[in-house]
Amino acid sequence: MGESADVEVSASEYETTVTYGWREPVVYVYSNIPSHVRRMRADDAFTEMRTFPATKGIPEGAQFTIPRSLFDPMRGRRRPRGPKAEVRPV
């Protein structure tokens, strides 16, 4: 049975997974959602470890690491806060 080049991919085939190791200094992130992969590649905090080629209609995926201190499991990538507004004297 040959595979068609125009295989329709269901939404369940797209995923982003985050893995924390108990004592690991980094968080591992895998994604094959194109917008997530693009954003992680553009962000210097993420280091691309491995690329998975597109197969059977499933888009290219990639695995990244990010320092644990820069990633929150509930919110994702932590961004540095800007300078606080100056307090005006009363």
Token readout for 61 is 């995926």
Using alpha carbons, list the distances in angstroms from residue 13 to 16, 21, 71.
Answer: 10, 25, 24
Domain spans, the chain: 13-72
Residue where the block lists tokens 């997974």: 17
| Alpha carbon distance 90, 87 (integer Å) | 9
Q: Are 60 and 37 in contact (CB under 8 A)?
A: yes
> Is residue 2 very low, low, confident or very high in pLDDT (cuts 50, 70, 90)?
very low
The larger pLDDT score, comparing residue 38 to residue 84, is at: 38
Residue 49 has pLDDT above 50, yes or no: yes
From residue 27, alpha-carbon distances to 4, 24, 67, 69 in Å are 36, 7, 6, 9
> Average pLDDT in the 4-17 region?
72
Quick check: 24 pLDDT over 80?
Answer: yes
